[in-house]
Chain A
């Protein structure tokens, strides 16, 4: 038996934590984001990068988890989940016997069915899925009723009044008989697959349609004379593990079947493969698609994700007793203190003076420089930021001066030209030039997670190790300073980048491509006049460039095909975040590929999205094969 030591390293997905632990760590905020129509009879496809919370969401609707939610309904810290589930009609105050969630994973060998007998293989796939739906349904029913042995299923009677005639699933009177049939059926398939030197006793069983879904939506369950679990939900996870043909067949046939119960299919975005770069909507009344990655985008997205993240991290913090703190956010200092950065302030003032020296006699900047002197006198982090803003504005004005009259610039003009983007760029420049921490604080931690819970937990795990060290060293204050946070977070970001070849199928090429994009963005960001403030964190392919990449004739040859695959994998794995950019008067529409925010930390880039530069497919192909290296420029104007 294993015990968790760092609560942030534990993944909540299928079966890796106990049901009680799952309920304790589950953040109900995700239920708020679930679409209203998700419980209607239709096929609902949930899609996201790994770690966005698909399996966690699905697991919450399985009988053991629902029982645990119901049992903990009176606990103040857990009652919110219960209330939200009641609001969704999943649980009632009286009990949890009305709703039956059936959870199946496609990572169970469907893709390994023999491919050399293709026509038979489709039938075997259907037969295997059908008997697993039956088996998991009956076992889930046992869990719903709190049965401890399989034999107790004999107490459940099956009613066939509403069920159409099925060819592949027999009509047994009791759930136990049907459960034994399903087990035997599955074992026969596997006995023949495992034998593989030739089927020992005849053909593999095959079905001509997905009868398991028809069975689940119509069968009646009776226990002690009462009808139980009239509401059903079928959840099929890991659809990306299916072969392309199997996945298409399952979605298409289920959609055509128009199920009367909700069928949730969850898959990683990688299942779309290269379709990702040219995806079109195929939604309809019977097929509904939801992107968990996009759940947190939009105007309120970040604040909602931050609340969700805080909830998740605080729950995990409560589940440990090594560090004597109960709230994760309490452990992170959100602002810099002047005393932490004395050396950097002195260095910053020196750099400003050197730069301002050549403007000293220029009447145009007299007021700006006088104000800068006041900031210098203050010697604080805030005044340092003002000096950097002034410095960028000086460079900008200097570069445009030929076109303007040599009039004195007032302090008001300085303020007018100031903006939040400019201040963000100034903060980043301070970080780059002076080493003043930039990647710290809870909100930025959430941004670094790129809307992904797994990434959030990986970052939090590193910070937790820092807290553990403080506890071990008996430090007075269990709070991580901005410097400490930045060091730990940069280490995680570097680890993420280094592990790309070890964890992704086209990892080595993906790493070269991402490094090159990072290098390119760095080069575009750290320009003295900060032209794309706060900076560039993505590259854009115009519609015309994308057309070259996705053309069926493959005009770019094998390298183009590989680039398409690498880009699709990077998007699917959340290493690149895809956003559409609309056409304007002067430019074509296109797709922006933003770097993952943790990778932005590694490349020293800002965390805001928005800044991108156009790029050609040819350049990306070169970068994928050979890492781009550009000379590092100084932020000072020579």
Chain B
């Protein structure tokens, strides 16, 4: 397990973490954020920038890469909020460095770029900026799920090309000392209030996790599906089912948020997903996995453990496909992403594979009041770098 020991802080602990991580050294920073409507990104950036401007902090150079994702249908007030949010982010970051806006239009029906291809191009644009940086910050607060999962896993693949832990050698997560941290402004209640509608006809497959989903040669392998459930995403789950890639004999293991601030949250989700998961397929309830709502490494452990167990059992059948669909809140999704990264085989001829299909919505519906009222808690996950500098 790569993150057997991990660095995760939330609330006030995040500042202590930044202090110990960034103090008394020259920082070459790449800060990646979304140019979206979610104002929680402002909270995260303002906290980070304030800290970095403090004493004993030295910024050699800093760049904000603001990913603009067009093509979404938003109400006028939410669209206006997106603009305000972007201006505020640029203004806040200007105290540290420049901003570059990376625009890739979301394709519509007539275009020659599929959503997955557009996502691949987006990731390529980000990866081109990674070289030479000492610190990479990925703020997922206002990024769509598929985008931040793709960025998370592909940056990790670039920084950690070899995942094998060798005793008495440098831990793979040291990654030449490049500190890669993921910041999240989490408010699970608000995540549940953001309604995703008009799902795209085409599924997005997260780049790097395509083979197990599409390759004809692996279609006869048994499939284990881990849908990570979240509120108001039944239609997206249905799109994945309708894609006919989930065969009738698939093992379906829904991942539910539990423990949670709302102790009934998992129950409510079971009711919400009753029709596609339990009425039409009668998924055994013993297959349900529980992951801590606000502890991504706990979700990572749960999912990774389950994936390994299924892999062990299924190898006797000649191979196995592990499929994860991210519909849950941000922290759980990140944990699930880490598990997928670790499980993804590096060998071309491995007889198993991991896939992350997702149905991206084209319209988000959310009350501006709810967004403004949100009081998120900031969480920071340090995934690579000096924190893992000792031998494994």
**Residues on A facing B (Cβ under 8 Å):** 1-6, 9-11, 13-18, 21, 55, 104-105, 107-109, 111-116, 118, 131-132, 135-136, 139, 182-183, 186-188, 190-191, 193-197, 241, 243-245, 270, 273, 499, 501-508, 565
Distance between A33 CB and nearest chain B CB, rounded to angstroms? 23
Measured CB to CB, the nearest residue on chain A to B120 is A196
Would you call A503 and B210 a contact (CB within 8 A)? no
A138 to B252, CA, bound (A): 30
Listed by A's residue number, 13 A-B pairs whose Cβ atoms lie within 8 Å are A1-B249, A2-B249, A2-B283, A107-B244, A111-B114, A186-B217, A190-B214, A193-B210, A197-B124, A197-B157, A502-B234, A503-B238, A505-B362
A625 to B349, CA, bound (A): 53
CB-defined contacts of A245 to chain B, threshold 8 Å: 112
Would you call A196 and B249 a contact (CB within 8 A)? no
* B6 at interface, CB cutoff 8 A: no
Would you call B109 and A505 a contact (CB within 8 A)? yes
Q: Choose, from B29-37, B167-175, B201-209, B375-383, the stretch at the interface.
A: B201-209
Would you call B249 and A107 a contact (CB within 8 A)? no
Distance between A331 CB and nearest chain B CB, rounded to angstroms? 19
A499: contacting residue among B209, B211, B235, B283, CB under 8 A? B235
Would you call B197 and A187 a contact (CB within 8 A)? no
- Over the window 239-270 of chain B, the binary record of Cβ atoms lying under 8 Å from chain A Cβ atoms (1 yes, 0 no) is 10011111111111000000000000000000
Would you call B114 and A243 a contact (CB within 8 A)? yes
Q: Choose, from B13-21, B140-148, B274-282, B290-298, the stretch at the interface.
A: B274-282
Known: A2-B252, A243-B114. A504 touches B278 (CB 8 A): no
CB-defined contacts of A18 to chain B, threshold 8 Å: 248-249
A6: contacting residue among B211, B251, B280, CB under 8 A? B280
Would you call B216 and A16 a contact (CB within 8 A)? no
CB-defined contacts of A187 to chain B, threshold 8 Å: 211, 215, 217, 348-349
Would you call B199 and A502 a contact (CB within 8 A)? yes
Distance between B327 CB and nearest chain A CB, rounded to angstroms? 13
Would you call B197 and A508 a contact (CB within 8 A)? yes
Distance between A173 CB and nearest chain B CB, rounded to angstroms? 21
Would you call B283 and A112 a contact (CB within 8 A)? no
Measured CB to CB, the nearest residue on chain A to B201 is A505
CB-defined contacts of B215 to chain A, threshold 8 Å: 108, 186-187, 190
CB-defined contacts of B251 to chain A, threshold 8 Å: 1
Would you call A107 and B210 a contact (CB within 8 A)? no
Would you call A502 and B235 a contact (CB within 8 A)? yes
Distance between A513 CB and nearest chain B CB, rounded to angstroms? 14
Would you call A135 and B114 a contact (CB within 8 A)? no
Distance between B313 CB and nearest chain A CB, rounded to angstroms? 13
A486 to B111, CA, bound (A): 43
Would you call B281 and A111 a contact (CB within 8 A)? no
Known: A104-B216, A505-B201. A16 touches B247 (CB 8 A): yes
Q: Which 7 A-B pairs have the closest CB atoms?
A: A109-B214, A502-B235, A9-B280, A2-B281, A15-B247, A112-B116, A190-B211
Distance between A177 CB and nearest chain B CB, rounded to angstroms? 15
Would you call B244 and A55 a contact (CB within 8 A)? yes
CB-defined contacts of B84 to chain A, threshold 8 Å: none
A11 to B348, CA, bound (A): 34
Known: A18-B249, A112-B116, A244-B112. A6 touches B244 (CB 8 A): no
Would you call A196 and B124 a contact (CB within 8 A)? yes
CB-defined contacts of B284 to chain A, threshold 8 Å: 1-2
Would you call A139 and B282 a contact (CB within 8 A)? no
A193 to B121, CA, bound (A): 12
CB-defined contacts of A503 to chain B, threshold 8 Å: 199, 235, 238-239
Distance between A4 CB and nearest chain B CB, rounded to angstroms? 6
A112: contacting residue among B114, B246, B363, CB under 8 A? B114
Residue from the set A10, A17, A114, A190 with the largest chain B CB neighbour count within 10 Å: A190
Known: A135-B216, A186-B216, A502-B197. A109 touches B210 (CB 8 A): yes
A194: contacting residue among B201, B209, B250, B282, CB under 8 A? B209
CB-defined contacts of B117 to chain A, threshold 8 Å: 111-115
* B200 at interface, CB cutoff 8 A: yes
CB-defined contacts of A182 to chain B, threshold 8 Å: 217
A16: contacting residue among B109, B124, B217, B248, CB under 8 A? B248
* B352 at interface, CB cutoff 8 A: no
Measured CB to CB, the nearest residue on chain B to A246 is B112
Known: A112-B205, A196-B124, A245-B112. A4 touches B282 (CB 8 A): yes
Would you call B210 and A190 a contact (CB within 8 A)? yes
A508: contacting residue among B73, B216, B235, CB under 8 A? B73
Would you call A505 and B244 a contact (CB within 8 A)? no
Measured CB to CB, the nearest residue on chain B to A506 is B198
Measured CB to CB, the nearest residue on chain A to B280 is A9
Would you call B217 and A115 a contact (CB within 8 A)? no
Known: A132-B216, A190-B215, A196-B123. A505 touches B348 (CB 8 A): no
B110-169 at interface with A (beta carbon < 8 Å): 110, 112-114, 116-117, 120-121, 123-124, 127, 154, 157-158
Distance between B203 CB and nearest chain A CB, rounded to angstroms? 8
A498 to B235, CA, bound (A): 12
Residue from the set A3, A13, A197 with the largest chain B CB neighbour count within 10 Å: A197
A21 to B248, CA, bound (A): 11
CB-defined contacts of B348 to chain A, threshold 8 Å: 187-188, 191
A190 to B350, CA, bound (A): 13
Knowing that A105-B244, A112-B210, A502-B234 touch, tell me 7 more A-B residue pairs with CB under 8 angstroms. Answer: A16-B248, A18-B248, A109-B210, A111-B114, A112-B120, A190-B210, A270-B201
A187 to B116, CA, bound (A): 19
Would you call B244 and A501 a contact (CB within 8 A)? no
Would you call A194 and B199 a contact (CB within 8 A)? no
Known: A135-B216, A505-B200. A196 touches B363 (CB 8 A): no
A16 to B244, CA, bound (A): 7
CB-defined contacts of A244 to chain B, threshold 8 Å: 110, 112
CB-defined contacts of A4 to chain B, threshold 8 Å: 280-282
Would you call A116 and B121 a contact (CB within 8 A)? yes
CB-defined contacts of B70 to chain A, threshold 8 Å: none
A196: contacting residue among B110, B112, B208, CB under 8 A? B208
B220: contacting residue among A9, A13, A104, A139, CB under 8 A? A139
Measured CB to CB, the nearest residue on chain A to B113 is A115
B197: contacting residue among A114, A191, A507, CB under 8 A? A507
Measured CB to CB, the nearest residue on chain B to A179 is B217
B165-200 at interface with A (beta carbon < 8 Å): 197-200
CB-defined contacts of B216 to chain A, threshold 8 Å: 104, 108, 131-132, 135-136, 186
Measured CB to CB, the nearest residue on chain A to B348 is A191
* B213 at interface, CB cutoff 8 A: yes
Distance between B149 CB and nearest chain A CB, rounded to angstroms? 15
Distance between B122 CB and nearest chain A CB, rounded to angstroms? 11
